[in-house]
Chain A
Amino acid sequence: MATTVEPILDNTIEDPEHRAPLVLGGLDYAGVTDKVCSVWEADKAPKVWWLVLILAISLLMMLGACIGHLLMKGVGVWGNNNPAYWGWPIVNFVFWVGIGHAGTLISAILFLFRQNWRTSINRAAEAMTIFAVICAGTFPGIHIGRVWVFYWLFPVPSEHLAMWPNFRSPLLWDVFAVGTYFTVSLLFWYMGMVPDIATYRDRAKTKIRKMVYSLLSLGWTGSARGWHRYEAAYVILAALATPLVLSVHTIVSFDFAVSQVPGWHTTIFPPYFVAGAIFSGFAMVVTLLVPARKIYGLQQLITIRHLENMNKIIMATGLMVGMAYGIEFFISWYSGVAPERFAFYNRAFGNFSWAYWIMVSCNVFIPQLFWFKFFRTNTIAMVVICIFVNIGMWFERFVITVTSLCRDFLPSSWHYFHPTGVDVMMLIGSFGLFTTLFLLFCRYLPIIAISEVKNVIPVKSDEH
């Protein structure tokens, strides 16, 4: 069952006579299993893994310390102040929720469209979704001030409070949208992983591993009846997750669009936010998978073609986002509403114009490099571009949130927003949380959907 050593083909060339292979190097079933399990079966994790983990955990501890400080002192430790009561915590929330969207798009929407190239990247992308939503949920969670009564967000009968949530408020919609999104993503991710956890179970050497993976795999045998219901459930979950993923960022955009602040009160927000979310999410997937495939030697499974496809989506969604920026300006001029016109003029040429132009450069100009095949297929170039994209997308949320609030209807309260050290440390710390979770996932769970990849290997038997 050893993998036959073949020169790695260039599967980015479009040959109309053949489907481009999605698994290179002639890997067979056992070869795929061995390849993915080697990540977990290696006695020692790669040095890079340890280095990054130590760094990530120290950043995570910094986040924990910041949250402790916040709980002791109150939300005054942030830069949020009149009139910008929504500062970095909300910017970070929208940023992280957006990152998550690519995972669901890959696992659900591309599944419904029968895009087979999703198979080797969907697991890592779904994991990324869950960890990003955890980071996202942290920020509004600690933004509510009295964190210990967080359950007041939910419709829990309470004698102490003697009231219910306001179900007509977009902020409450957010609680339901993000909560549902996290739960459904987790179920989808876990359900998809059970057959692969069963593979880990059957290959486990130590007693503890055997026990843990046996429990997690729920006694999966791979029976035909099991697969039949499993596939039905997978399609249903994909069909549920598809409108869900579109609804989540739509509802996040309602947080802004339903208010009346100039620059927020626009109907273009839902599609524009969803496009931006997919844009930033794919950029994050590329940023994570390029080093992961290199470190773990998974180039045969996560091929350049996979990365190139993602880069094409990044360019497409980047163009959508760029068009939305343009339309926003057009509508503000066309509406004839003075505060709207001022809000957008102020965005581009006001006191936060530096942030606006960082956003436009990173989100609209830099991704244009993906028109060239060199940038789409060169791993270092694509990671650099994707990091710029995520910087740009963070600034997009910053521009929307802060510039609009700092120039609201009441000129006497106009103000310049200054973040505090806690703001900065929390943003960096949230990357620590995300990276820690992702590294642990890489080490202990199958990062590639083994059973799904086997389905896209060309069948060698006489049938099919």
Chain B
Amino acid sequence: MTEKQNQETADQKLVGLLAQFEDPGSLVRACNEARESGYNKIDAYSPFPVHGIDPALGIPRTILPFFVLIIGLTGCAVGLGMQYYANAGDWSPLFPGYNFMISGKPFFSLPANIPVTFEIVILSSAIATFLGMWALNRLPRLANPLHRISRFKRVTNDKFFLLIETKDPQFKREETESQLSQWGASVVEEVNEDLTDQQLPSWLQLAGLMTALILLIPPVLIFRAEGMTSRKPRLHVVPDMDWQEKYKTQTLAPNLGDEQHPNFLFVDGRAMQEPIPGTIARGDLYTDSEYFRGIKSGTESFATISTAGVHTGLQDAAHQDDSHQDEAAKDKPAEPAKDDPAAAPEPDWVTQFPANVHVNQALLERGQRRFNIYCSVCHGYAGNGDGLVNARAMALAASGQAQWTAAKSLNDPETKKNPVGRIFDTISNGRGTMGPYKSQIPVEDRWAIVAYVRALQGTGIKPTTMTKAVEKAVAE
């Protein structure tokens, strides 16, 4: 009945005695006997949970449910907090929350946030149950002396086992063995722990170290890339939107048909449609005519309203098309037909600054800075029409290399008579050969420039058409 070899060599350490039973009933009986005999380092092994084994072995109730309860409640708080942070909180400087404005509904309303909270509670509790159960069972365990016993393989099939450990104070090698046989064990066997293979083999340790080092390479590369600047575009694993077949705005769409049956995206061959005449884009409805157009309110025509907004690229393109048709007009140094005063009557310009433009020191200083950036290159810092671009262009024009209409001096007596609305309009839409600046300069800055121009005109600087430098250049 008992195992013969009893030698406890230096390599082997006795862990306990394993007794085999043939049916669950005798196992439970033996467990009861063992517990009543005073053993407490005992455990039973069976192919399925045996009824009545817990009291027989004196197994206390597991703490697993409390652990799961705590994790589940934590999951509830974290789930709710996460939703509040992500949808209703925007205080964080890093990754702030994003408030979805949907039909004016509150950003955080409990009923709508219940489903996700519920799922997170279930998820966290289930993971806690799963991991907690294995942790309490001290599993996974890679090596167990029990698995070295061939007879123990039937524990997952049809045999029942009882192990009394040597750690038990009651354990006495021979006495315990006879007790186990007495309680109905069919076989009693020693369980020995092999001490020779306590350490991992060195090749496995080396392989583990190598794997760890190799796994470090990708994060190192990522951190290196994070700390570096590059002139090339970022690496896209999937090229995303760059990769799509699409027409770019402001381009011609290719003819998908043939010569006889052309098939364009739109009738005019563009990849993008022009707005319907008379429509105004959102935010482009400038009702305050005095402020946005420099024209007295109530006097502006429909044409001035519809074209007074910021030019879209398409409108500009359309105007270019117009000038294309008239080749002669292009060569003419004179003003284009659209600005011909005879074609359109002069609007009723405002003569006073609009009510919401407050002329003060700050506005004038702002105007000075904007003027020096945008205007002085042609009109000169004092507004005498002697900017550097003008000077150079005049020189080129004098030698016949360019055509140039001299920049106006703002201090001409005639120019000084212009009302502020007209100056505003000139900055916005250009005049003569001067281009429009409304796409570069915001409305309030244009009014600031107007105020500064008025200030320049009031300083009494002598109207000189050209500086000496320009005269000299022309002479050469």
Contacts and interface: CB of A to CB of B under 8 A. Distances in A.
A232 B109 CA distance: 36
Most buried by A among B68, B82, B94, B158: B158
B157 A202 contact: yes
Contacts of B305: none
A288 interface: no
Interface stretch (B117-125, B169-177, B316-324, B370-378): B117-125
Interface string B20-54: 00011110110100000000000111111111011
A233 interface: yes
Contacts of A244: 119, 122
Nearest to B92: A157
B64 A223 contact: no
Interface stretch (A136-144, A177-185, A363-371): A177-185
A418 interface: no
Given A167-B112, A168-B102, A222-B46, 19 more contacts: A30-B158, A148-B238, A164-B97, A164-B98, A191-B133, A202-B155, A223-B45, A224-B45, A226-B139, A227-B50, A228-B54, A228-B62, A229-B133, A232-B133, A233-B64, A236-B64, A240-B125, A463-B25, A463-B29
B240 interface: yes
A179 B48 CA distance: 31
12 contacts: A173-B115, A187-B129, A187-B130, A202-B156, A219-B141, A222-B46, A233-B129, A247-B118, A251-B115, A451-B49, A454-B47, A455-B48
Contacts of B51: 464
Contact of B112 (A163, A168, A454): A168
B386 to A, nearest CB: 49
Interface string A232-252: 110011001101100100010
Contacts of A229: 62, 64, 133, 136-137
A195 B48 CA distance: 8
A184 B83 contact: no
A462 interface: yes
B220 interface: no
B237 interface: yes
B86 A164 contact: yes
Nearest to B136: A229
A232 B25 contact: no
Contacts of A460: 23
A85 interface: no
Most buried by A among B49, B57, B142, B237: B49
Contacts, number: 215
B100 interface: yes
B311 interface: no
B134 interface: yes
B87 A166 contact: yes
A218 B25 contact: no
A459 interface: yes
Nearest to B109: A168
B472 interface: no
A177 B115 contact: yes
The 3 closest A-B pairs by CB, nearest first: A461-B25, A164-B86, A29-B158
A1 interface: yes
A173 B68 CA distance: 23
A218 B147 CA distance: 12
B59 interface: yes
Contact of B130 (A191, A196, A227, A461): A191
B144 interface: yes
A127 B211 CA distance: 33
B157 A224 contact: no
Interface in B236-262: 237-238, 240
A218 B24 contact: no
A221 B24 contact: no
Nearest to B237: A148
B225 interface: no
A441 interface: no
B435 interface: no
A180 B64 contact: no
B interface, how many residues as a size bin?
35 or more
A118 B322 CA distance: 83
B203 interface: no
A243 B118 CA distance: 10
Given A155-B82, A218-B141, A232-B65, A223 B112 contact: no
Contacts of B57: 224-225
Contacts of A157: 94-95
B59 A224 contact: yes
Contacts of B100: 166, 168
B154 interface: yes
A159 B240 CA distance: 16
Contacts of A195: 47-48, 156
Given A33-B157, A455-B49, A237 B97 contact: no
Contacts of B186: none
Given A157-B95, A168-B105, A184-B122, A202 B130 contact: no
Interface in A267-303: none
A211 B61 CA distance: 33
Contacts of B68: 236
Given A176-B115, A219-B144, A203 B137 contact: no
Contacts of B83: 167
A146 interface: yes
Nearest to A164: B86
Contacts of A232: 61-62, 64-65, 133
A300 B120 CA distance: 41
A110 B413 CA distance: 100
Contacts of A254: 115
Nearest to B88: A167
A159 B98 CA distance: 12
Interface in A143-170: 146, 148, 155, 157-159, 162-168, 170
B86 A167 contact: yes
Contacts of A231: 49
Nearest to A161: B98
B304 interface: no
Interface in B59-75: 59, 61-62, 64-65, 68
A230 B115 contact: no
Given A30-B158, A163-B98, A176-B120, A223 B43 contact: yes
Nearest to A226: B137
Most buried by B among A162, A180, A229: A229
Contacts of A224: 31, 43-46, 49-50, 53-54, 57, 59
A220 interface: yes
A220 B158 CA distance: 15
Contacts of A109: none
A41 interface: no
A453 to B, nearest CB: 9
Contact of A227 (B49, B122, B136): B49
A461 B51 CA distance: 13
A384 B238 CA distance: 46
A203 B49 contact: no
B337 interface: no
Given A148-B237, A202-B154, A187 B126 contact: yes
B132 interface: yes
Contacts of A201: 156
A191 B64 CA distance: 15
Contacts of B62: 228-229, 232
Interface in A42-69: none
Nearest to B89: A164
Interface string A100-123: 000000000000000000000000
B334 interface: no
A317 interface: no
A199 interface: yes
A270 B22 CA distance: 51
Nearest to B244: A74
Contacts of B123: 176, 179-180, 183-184
A198 interface: yes
B148 interface: no
